[in-house]
Amino acid sequence: MTGEHFEMLKAHDRARHGRSLNTIVDFTLQGTADPYVAGLYYTRIELGTPPRPFYVQIDTGSDILWVNCKPCNACPLTSGLGVALNFFDPRGSSTASPLSCIDSKCVSSNQISESVCTTDRYCGYSFEYGDGSGTLGYYVSDEFDYNQYVNQYVTNNASAKITFGCSYNQSGDLTKPDRAVDGIFGFGQNDLSVVSQLNSQGLAPKIFSHCLEGADPGGGILVLGEITEPGMVYTPIVPSQPHYNLNLQGIAVNGQQLSIDPQVFATTNTRGTIIDCGTTLAYLAEEAYEPFVNTIIAAVSQSTQPFMLKGNPCFLTVHSIDEIFPSVTLYFEGAPMDLKPKDYLIQQLSPDSSPVWCIGWQKSGQQATDSSKMTILGDLVLKDKVFVYDLENQRIGWTSFDCSSTVNVSTDSGESKSFDTAKLNNNGSPPSRTLKELAINLCYCFLFLMSSIL
């Protein structure tokens, strides 16, 4: 083999094994927006050496990835979601190393959490979420294993050293087993988010997308890359904010603009509109909630009358909700978001099993005491749409979409690759290939090798 041939083979290996943005990092999702089934979306990741699996909730409302660690106080041991829970043990991974208090990444973590030094001089953290739950832990650096998709059937195994949280204490809803997972996968803009860390190492673009399936059994896809589908509209991200704040300018019901002062949605220290896939429902600022609910009630008054159920306006109807409930449009800067009734209604069952639909949008302040003026759009609104978070150009885009079907993802080279979310296994791996497919791939690899040598 000549030196030229040898270099060709090495170049081929480098292209296959990573460090190339022409491949796509994919996370297959499980879960659903339905609060009576799951009320969250989660994915399977692998950490450490040897790699161990963990199920983590995806969350665009926070920044870091953290998982429960051994030992852990008040961490659930079982999950009503039917997944086996794990505990990360830094001593059981040959490549794990705790982050010290003097590390520059520890200094960066001060921007997103209350950073403290543990008795072992490790970089600790304390997070409190909007629902009042909280977690304590320290940062660890270790291997993060993932799949790079060449197409929907061919993948390359890859890994990267990242910093993530090792939590040893939980409080609030994080202690409950009904919707328990191993941790939270934050997709915020901070330098410690996995998106930022992989991008800084040249392993992923500074853009990610998700498509959350609303219909049973739920699921969906999240990719580090740009899902490109017709009809995408974009609006700028409000700069210098800890969350994905957007400029919401008004709300219309059946095409009629509601009489709401636009300043209700303006971004300040206490106001603003946030896109957050870690929130199940949607929350409207107090001044917008009553006009919205009253207009919906008036629009359906000829077909059904409301009644209160657990504090929410509900409706008993045998008709299709699309026939009697109005459409809603959220007007963002330069980009409307058209919503169907299923994007603001939640189905419940009455004592006699008749279908009951309740307004799922809540008045802000019911989630946390300091958020009465915030508008938060959670999974109830985000489902059944492609969302693209273009962090490079500081904008977010969306379009309505069937998230159980094939999505097209663009690479940095401009190439578009298709992924059929229905054909991906629940564990996030590509489907098993048949013997015929394996034989074809082996032949291809053999022919490529021979052509490189000859």
Query: Which among 357, 343, 346, 351 has a CA at the least distance from the CA of 315?
Result: 357
Query: Which of these is catalytic: 34, 142, 182, 276?
Result: 276
Strands 328-332 and 248-253 come out as: antiparallel
Q: Which of 59, 142, 343, 379 is catalytic?
A: 59
Active site residue 191: no
The amino acid at residue 300 is V
CA dist 397 to 230, 232, 252, 388, Å? 11, 6, 20, 5
Cα(422)–Cα(437) distance, integer angstroms: 19
Contacts within 8 Å (CB) and 24+ apart, 419-424: 419/24, 419/26, 419/149, 419/152, 419/221, 419/223, 420/152, 421/28, 421/211, 421/213, 421/219, 421/220, 421/221, 423/152, 424/26, 424/28, 424/152, 424/221
**In degrees, to the nearest 5, what angle opens at C-alpha 201 toward C-alphas 85 and 185?**
25
175 in helix, strand or coil? helix
Which residues lie below 8 Å from residue 419, measured CB to CB, with a gap of 6+?
24, 26, 149, 152, 221, 223, 406, 407, 409
In this structure, are residues 21 and 412 in contact, taking their beta carbons and an 8 Å threshold? yes
For 283-348, the DSSP string reads: EE-HHHHHHHHHHHHHHTTTT--EEEETTEEEEE-SS-HHHHSPPEEEEETTEEEEE-GGGTEEEE
Coil vs helix vs strand at 84? coil
Q: Which two tokens stand for residue 239?
A: 């700069």
CB neighbourhood size of 94 (10 A): 10
Answer yes or no: 370 catalytic: no
Q: What is the DSSP letter of 260?
A: -
Separation between Cα atoms, residue 35 and residue 32, nearest integer Å: 8
The β-bridge partners of 164 are 140
- Residues forming beta bridges with residue 148, ordered by sequence position: 25, 156
Active site residues: 59, 276
